[in-house]
Chains A and B, each alone.
Chain A
């Protein structure tokens, strides 16, 4: 097994790649007097650019009655503003060669524009107009309601993981709005009204609640000039109210079951309470997650898939402003019961708590993290997403450049410590989806 021996000797000092890597001083930023922040990176590998606008609003800002409103708002942002009536945002952008999309999660709403660099001014004009003066046309609200109901049902029709995660969140969180599904509850989607929408826009879509990231074949000076022209006159409003509710401490394991007749095999999801993104344990937890579930040499793959009791296993977590969840998800190999795969999954996790991890495993994950950073930096979109996420969730885009060092300094003891601290029985919620309740 000579590869195993070789592997231990290949520690990838991040510094050895310094020449090829992106550096912090290549990134420029400025903030307009109204508080809207811009982060710009010139990158001319392709004649294109993007604009990612991060709004610090998501389903964590909602309450019963208006669940799903952040996401619905994301849709309404494409349905007309003062100078561009319904459909004109998309038509104008596409005619200039641009495309767009947007996503909403519990914490943020992010608008993404992808365009030939020559269309930069058009994109700024369109974005500026909808932020300054969105029109909420009642007719568009009605057709968009149908669109979102279809989005909700197609998610449930096609994805067990979506269904399981939605219900698990509402069990894991009893007080905090992370309990709310981002798509919203069906009855709320059918009932929110014009006033709810107007209030929401006024409260959250204020320029001092946004960060815009532009990466591509642009010049910083030009971006600054256009930003001032198209976003500078949008008035600043009060900073949106903070989310007050804190989730009380979980006092014991929680469980749920979902029956879905067409499920061909039991699905098991185990989620543990973990801290917010901007927390000192973030990187150790991220390494722990990868070590457990990334790749065919991961602990869980070996314990569940290699042994043929599960067909697949994965782990995921979302960066959040508040303490959230680290999820493990596995689908049985057909005739193996949910209890058996759950037991094997929990045993693999407990083993890390009890015996820790090896130096070799840790180094493996560190190597993968560094290479994945380069993979993300191969595209202008990967760069924009990384810069924006670091600025929004970690308070400073520059922290992106500390990442390799943050991973590098972790020890095997750090990994075992976070496993013991967070992956505790009392802090988990276990959900099972299967054809029939046993």
Chain B
């Protein structure tokens, strides 16, 4: 039982509190085969984090939702030389952790293990990345498990509300693809599909190897070259396409019926910004005020003042080309209308009253103060380097963090609110008991009803 569910400040900007905190030094290299390599030394504990980051994800699924995600997980099913059991034993028996997977725009293979095991485990990691076996029997088992996970996720509105929201905002465009696919789409995927996806996207000129932790840089450079230098790409590198824009020409509501729901889970919002938007950092500050911390307006109104919910928040969810913005919360079924109305009213404060200087200064201090622990562990730093590679997060955004936070004035805040927070044509997802909240839903736009138990995340055609 916690005071609060962690509010997600979506990937708040990376950087340094100039005087106080520096991002540890790291080196970047490019091997002749096109592979990008990042290395960052840290010696606090005798561990290293290694990850391969590939620019491939659900946006590349095409007509096969879940293909990237299944491929990302299937990498771990063994290499051409070592089967799954041998790989799992090698890592488990040394206290190592091997994981991976694929999201919307990037796929990763990650390992965390003792420095002394580099000679044994790094070659195995390299094998998995470059010569996965996609063993038919294991792939079949994995696909079955993932289909069950998707079924079970729909028992929990919180786990699926965001997927419906993205599907609603982007419609049939690539960004609307459910990252994990659907039960039916996963069921149709074959070993050949996985193999084909891997061959198309997992290649040195579309990937980075990131090493963070306790290692000797000279020896590591050599090991990385030896282990990954022979990886070669065939044919032209995959090109980035247009993954779609938010569709918000009128107010719409998707009402997702969960017949035994005791509460209503909701998201309200519209278009947001790309991960590398020049306004990314100041928008983190503004969102902190609206819904990014405990005393934020949304949490203050919906939780502290009225007791309508355990937590209310808002967030920009940036992607590489664009992004979304949403307010989210949940409330007991009979309080649905009160909570939705108050969320809208509170959101309007951004324009009605605007942001005063004291609140802005407090949010600036908060964002700066909470920054250093975001980059405390090797895993966190490796993830940041991965985002720099896959999502194009520029070093500028990181280096100028302090300046961008400090220079934010109430006047500029007002301009940024006008420019970036969607005010008209809001899009709403409600997950709850439709027969009880159908009337309420109509207040917020044109309603489309979906059944949570139906396959996927789109309404019936």
Q: What residues make up the interface of A, taking CB atoms closer than 8 Å to B?
A: 1, 3-4, 6-7, 10, 12, 17, 20-21, 45-48, 71, 74-75, 78, 87, 90-91, 94-105, 114-116, 119, 142-151, 153-154, 156-160, 182-183, 260-265, 295-297, 305-306, 308, 311, 331, 333-334, 360, 363-364, 367-372, 374-375, 377-381
Which residues of B line the A interface, CB within 8 A?
1-4, 6, 17, 20-21, 43-47, 82, 85-86, 88-90, 92-96, 112-114, 117, 120, 124, 141, 144-145, 148-149, 151-152, 154-159, 214, 258-263, 265, 293-295, 300, 303-310, 330-332, 361-362, 365-366, 368-370, 372-373, 376-378
The answer for the CA separation of A143 and B302 in the assembled complex, in Å, is 10
Instruction: Indicate if the CB atoms of B45 and A97 lie closer than 8 Å.
Output: no
What CA separation (Å) do A4 and B92 show in the bound complex? Answer: 11
Contact between chains at B145 and A305 (CB < 8 Å): yes
Give the CA-CA distance A369 to B113 in the complex, in Å: 12
**Shortest Cβ distance from residue B295 to the other chain A in the assembled complex, whole angstroms:** 5
Chain A residue numbers with a CB within 8 Å of B361 are 95
Q: Which residues of B contact A143 (CB under 8 A)?
A: 304-307
Taking a contact as CB atoms under 8 Å apart, the answer to whether A4 and B96 are in contact is: no
Select A151's contact among B6, B258, B310, beta carbons within 8 Å: B310
**A87 touches which of B113, B120, B295, B307 (Cβ 8 Å):** B295
Contact status A378-B141, CB under 8 Å? no
24 of the cross-chain contacts (CB-CB < 8 Å) are A3-B90, A4-B89, A46-B373, A48-B369, A87-B300, A98-B369, A99-B293, A99-B294, A101-B4, A144-B307, A150-B309, A150-B310, A150-B330, A153-B332, A154-B263, A158-B159, A265-B151, A295-B92, A331-B152, A371-B47, A374-B45, A374-B47, A378-B45, A380-B376
A150 and B331 in contact (CB under 8 A), knowing A156-B262, A297-B89, A379-B377?
A: yes
- Check if B94 sits within 8 Å of A260, measured CB to CB: no
How far is it, in angstroms, between the C-alpha of A3 and the C-alpha of B117 when the chains are bound? Answer: 12
List, in ascending order, chain B residues with CB within 8 A of A308's CB.
Answer: 141, 144-145
Most buried by B among A115, A119, A305, A378: A378
Expressed in whole angstroms, the Cα–Cα distance for A367 and B293 within the complex equals 39
Q: Which residue of B lies closest to A143 (CB)?
A: B307
CB distance from A135 to the nearest CB of B (A): 15
Tell me, in angstroms, the Cα distance from A12 to B20 when the chains sit together.
Answer: 36
Task: Decide if A378 touches B152 in the complex (CB within 8 Å).
Answer: no
Chain A residues with Cβ below 8 Å from B144 are 308, 333
Cβ contact of A114, chosen from B92, B112, B370, cutoff 8 A: B370
Q: Are A367 and B95 in contact (CB under 8 A)?
A: yes
Q: Which 3 A-B pairs have the closest CB atoms?
A: A97-B369, A146-B307, A371-B95
List A contacts of B4 (CB < 8 A): 101
- Which of A6, A151, A379 has most B Cβ within 10 Å? A151
> Whose C-beta in chain A lies nearest to the C-beta of B374?
A46
Alpha-carbon distance between A114 and B371 when the two chains are bound, in angstroms: 11
| Distance to closest chain B CB from A136 (angstroms) | 16
Taking a contact as CB atoms under 8 Å apart, the answer to whether B376 and A46 are in contact is yes
* Assembly CA distance A151 to B372 (angstroms): 30
Q: How far is the CA of A262 from the CA of B368 in the complex (A)?
A: 43
Which of B148, B263, B365 has a CB less than 8 Å from the CB of A157? B263
Give the chain B neighbours of A21 by CB distance below 8 A.
45
- Residue contact A295 to B88, C-beta cutoff 8 Å: yes
The answer to whether A264 and B376 touch across the interface, beta carbons within 8 angstroms, is: no
- A367 & B1 in contact (Cβ 8 Å cutoff): no
B308 touches A3 (CB 8 A): no
Q: A47-B20, A87-B300, A295-B88 are in contact. Are A101 and B3 (CB under 8 A)?
A: yes
Q: Tell whether A379 pairs with B376 under 8 Å between CB atoms, given A146-B307, A157-B263.
A: yes
- In angstroms, Cα B330 to Cα A6, docked, is 52
- With A and B bound together, what is the CA distance between A294 and B31 in angstroms? 37
Given contacts A4-B89, A297-B88, A297-B92, contact A94 B152 (CB under 8 A): no
- Whether B92 pairs with A364 at a CB distance below 8 angstroms is yes
Q: Is the CB of A311 within 8 A of B366?
A: no
Bound-complex Cα distance A393 to B301 (A) = 38
Nearest Cβ in chain B — how far from A325, in angstroms? 18
Q: Which of B3, B94, B154, B263 contacts A103 (CB 8 A)?
A: B3
Evaluate contact between A94 and B295: CB separation under 8 angstroms. Answer: yes
CB <8 Å contact, A262 and B155: yes
When chains A and B are docked, how far (Å) is the Cα of A156 from the Cα of B155?
A: 11
Determine if A367 and B94 form an interchain contact, defined as CB atoms under 8 angstroms apart: yes
- Per the bound structure, the CA–CA distance linking A100 and B92 in Å amounts to 35
Q: Contact check: which of A94, A101, A334 meets B366 at CB < 8 Å?
A: A94
> Could you tell me if B88 and A97 are in contact, using CB atoms closer than 8 angstroms?
no
Q: Say whether A182 contacts B1, CB under 8 Å.
A: yes
Q: Across the interface, which residues of B come within 8 angstroms of A91, CB to CB?
A: 295, 362
- A368 contacts across to B, CB distance below 8 A: 92, 95
Neighbouring B residues of A101 by C-beta, 8 Å:
2-4, 6
Docked complex Cα distance between A327 and B53 (Å): 36
Given A12-B95, A262-B155, A264-B154, A114-B295 contact (CB < 8 Å): no
Complex CA–CA separation, A260 to B85 (angstroms): 36
Given A90-B295, A94-B295, A333-B148, A367 and B3 contact (CB-CB distance below 8 Å): no
B-chain residues with CB within 8 Å of residue A145 when the two chains form the complex: 307
Chain A residues contacting B259 (CB-CB under 8 Å) are 261-262
Given A47-B21, A48-B372, A94-B293, CB of A20 within 8 Å of CB of B308: no
Contacts of B263 in A (CB 8 A): 150, 153-154, 157
Q: Inside 8 A of B378's CB, which chain A residues have their CB?
A: 378
Query: A295 CA to B265 CA in the complex, in Å?
Result: 33
Known contacts A95-B365, A297-B89; is A158 also within 8 Å of B157 by CB? Answer: yes
Residue of A nearest to B309 (CB): A150
